[in-house]
Amino acid sequence: MSSKKGRREWYRGQGLWQHVPAEDWKNWGWQLKNRLTTQDEIEKFFSLSPAEKQGCAFANKKLALAITPYFFNLIDFKDEDCPIRRQVIPRVEEMHVAPEEMSDPCGEDGKMPVPGLVHRYPDRVLFLVTDRCAAYCRYCTRSRLVSNSQGYDFHPEFEQGIRYIESHPEIRDVLLSGGDPLLLADRKLDYLLGRLRAIEHVEFIRIGSRIPIFLPQRITPELTDIFRKHEPIWMSIHANHPKECTQEVREACDRLALAGVPLGNQSVLLKGVNDDVDTMKELVHRLLMMRVRPYYLYQCDLITGSAHLRADVMKGLEIIENLRGHTTGYAVPQFVIDAPGGGGKVPINPEYVRKISDDEVEIRNYEGKVFRYSRHVDGMQPDSLESEPAASPVGRILE
Ligand SMILES: *Cc1c(COP(=O)(O)O)cnc(C)c1O
C-alpha cells in the first residue's frame, strides 16, 4: 500500500460476497440490511481475538456494533492491528474509562438551545438530524447519543431546530450531522434542505458524513440530484487511512463533485491507524486524487473508552511538520483540538515564527532555514509591540 505502485491501485470488489448478484451489492439498502452487527456474524468469516470478543459483548451497552459488508471487506483478517479493523471492531479496552475521559467531551449538551441543535459559534450551528450511522466508529465523539445504546433517548427535533434557525438571523451557516444525515431517505433530505434554503439568512449549508466511506453505494444519481437542486451544498467526508480510498469511494466522490458538491475530509488522529507520517501522506495524496481537500485533522476527543486509540498531540504536530512545505498546501489539513468541556476547535500548529521585533519578523521554513521579513511599511517604523503588548496576538503567543 505504501509503495508508489500501491498509490495508483484502487481496490474494488465484492470480496467475500462474490455469490451476491452485483445488483444487490451496489444497492445501499442491501448493504444496510446485511450489515454485520454481532460477534457470531463476524465469526462466520474470521475468528476474533479474545479482546475483540469481549468488546463485542460489551458494545450494545456503549455504542452499537455495525459494519457494512462493503467496509468489512477492507479488513485484513490475519492482522489484529489492521487499521480498518481497529476503527470498527469493538475491543475490551472500550470498557476502561480513564480519569480524563468524558461522555460529552466537547460539551455539546450545554450548548443545545433545542434538542439536537448545537449553537457554539456566533454564525453557525451544528444540526444533529439523526442518531444512526451506516457503521459505527469505535472512537465516536457522540457515542452518548449515537446508536441509542446508552439510553440517552435522543429525538432529533427537525421542526424545533428549523424554527430556531429561522428565528436567529445571525446563523448564516448550518452543518448537518448526527449520526449520519445521508441515512435519511431522499424525500426527507430534500425536504430538510428545502426548508433550510428557504431561510434567507442561511448562506452556507454543509453535510458531515462518513457514508461516502462506509457506504459509497448510497451516493446515487437521485441523491446528487437533490444536492444540485439545493446547490451549493458542501460536504465533509471522514477517511482516516489510505485503504479507505477505494475505487467505489472514488466513483462516489466523482458523482458528488460532478454534481457541484465541494468535498473536504476530516480525519481523526488514531493510534495504530494513521499516527505516522507515511500513512498520513499517502492518505492526503489519495484524497486529492479523488478531488477531496483535507480539511481538519482532529486530535481524538477524550471520549470514554478511547485511550487505546488516542495518539499523542506531538504525533499530530510531527505529521503536520512533515507535510507543510514537503507537499502542496492543498494536502495539509488543519490540526485541531476540540477543547475539552466546550471551547470549540483550536488550531495546533508547528511554530514557524521565531521572533517578532519592532523591525522584523523572524521566520523559519520547512527545512529549518531562517528568514527575516521587514515590518516597515511606507518607510514608517511599525508600532512597537512593547508599548502595546496586548494588541498583537502573535506577540502574546511569543511571550
Ligand atoms: C465543528 C463544529 C462546527 C463547524 O466548525 P467549522 O470550523 O466551521 O468547520 C460548528 N459547530 C460545532 C458545535 C462544531 O463542533
3-state DSSP call for residue 108? coil
Q: Pairing state of beta strands 334-339 and 117-118?
A: unpaired
Average model confidence (pLDDT) across the chain: 93
Q: Is the pLDDT of residue 399 over 80?
A: no
pLDDT of residue 279: 98
Q: What pLDDT is recorded for position 102?
A: 96
Judge whether residue 231 has pLDDT over 60.
yes
Per-residue pLDDT reduced to its tens digit, 2-55: 444 455 689 888 999 999 999 999 999 999 999 999 999 999 999 999 999 999
Contact yes or no for 279/73 (Cβ under 8 A): no
Q: Are 76 and 85 in contact (CB under 8 A)?
A: yes
Residue reference for cell 452543518? 175
Q: Which residues contact 310 (CB under 8 A, 6 or more apart)?
A: 139, 270, 271, 300, 302
Place 156 in a pLDDT band, splitting at 50, 70 and 90. confident
Domains of the chain: 4-94 (no CATH), 109-347 (3.20.20.70), 353-398 (no CATH)
pTM of the model: 0.93
pLDDT tens digits along 375-398: 998 777 666 555 444 444 554 444
What's the rounded Cα separation, in Å, for the pair 397 and 349? 12
Distance 20 CA to ligand 1 centre (A): 40
Pick from 294, 301, 392: nearest CA to 342: 301
Between residues 208 and 150, which one has the greater pLDDT?
208
Determine phi and psi for 49, rounding to 5 degrees: -75, 160
Share of the chain above pLDDT 90, in %: 87
Above 90 in pLDDT, residue 154? no
User: Torsion angle, CA of 289/292/296/301, rounded to 10 degrees?
Assistant: -90
CA of 103 to the centre of ligand 1 (A): 19
Nearest CA to ligand 1 atom 2: 126
For the cut 90, the answer to whether the pLDDT of residue 369 exceeds it is yes
* pLDDT of res. 3: 45
pLDDT tier at 1 (50, 70, 90 boundaries)? Answer: very low
pLDDT of residue 55: 97
pLDDT tens for each residue of 324-366: 999 999 999 999 999 999 999 999 999 999 999 999 999 999 9
How many Å lie between the centroid of ligand 1 and the Cα of residue 381? 39
Q: Is the peptide bond before 179 cis (omega within 30 degrees of 0)?
A: yes
- Look at the chain and count its residues: 399
Ligand 1: atom nearest CA of 119 is: 13
pLDDT at 149: 87
Residue 374 pLDDT > 80:
yes
Q: What angle is formed at CA 343 by the lines to CA 337 and CA 347, rounded to 5 degrees?
A: 35
The best mutation among 126, 206, 298 to test binding of ligand 1, ranked by most ligand atoms within 8 Å of the C-beta, falls on 126
Which residues does a 6 A CB cutoff place in the pocket of ligand 1? 118, 120-121, 124, 126, 175, 345
The C-alpha cell that represents 135 in the structure block: 457503521
Give the per-residue pLDDT at 394: 55
Tens of pLDDT, residues 99-136: 999 999 999 999 999 999 999 999 999 999 999 999 99
The more confidently predicted of residues 289 and 61 is: 289
**Which ligand 1 atom is at minimum distance from the Cα of 236?**
9
Long-range contacts from 256-259, C-beta under 8 angstroms, 24+ separation: 256/212, 256/219, 256/224, 256/227, 257/291, 258/224, 259/224, 259/225, 259/227, 259/228
Calculate how far, in angstroms, residue 379's C-alpha sits from the geometric centre of ligand 1: 41
The grid coordinates of residue 200 equal 434567507
Looking at ligand 1, which atom is closest to the CA of residue 295? 9
Apex 336 CA angle, 330 and 341, nearest 5: 155
Pocket-testing residue among 175, 205, 268, ligand 1, by greatest number of atoms within 8 A of Cβ: 175
Q: Where are the beta strands (DSSP E) in 38-155?
A: 117-118, 124-128
Residue 226: strand, helix, or coil:
helix
Going by C-beta distance under 8 Å and a sequence separation of 6 or more, which residues neighbour residue 302?
A: 98, 100, 101, 102, 105, 310, 340
pLDDT tens digit sequence for 290-303: 999 999 999 999 99
CB neighbour list of residue 188: distance below 8 Å, 6 or more residues apart: none
pLDDT digits (tens, 9 = 90+) for 64-92: 999 999 999 999 999 999 999 999 999 99
Specify the pLDDT at position 383: 63
Q: What is the pLDDT of residue 395?
A: 47
For 330-386, give the DSSP string: GG-PEEEEEETTTTEEEE-----EEEE-SSEEEEE-TT--EEEEE--BTTBPPPPTT
Nearest Cα residue to atom 12 of ligand 1: 126
Q: Distance from the CA of 126 to the center of ligand 1, in angstroms?
A: 7
Banded model confidence at residue 152, pLDDT cuts 50, 70, 90:
confident
Query: What is the rounded distance in angstroms from the CA atom of residue 55 to the CA atom of residue 298?
Result: 24
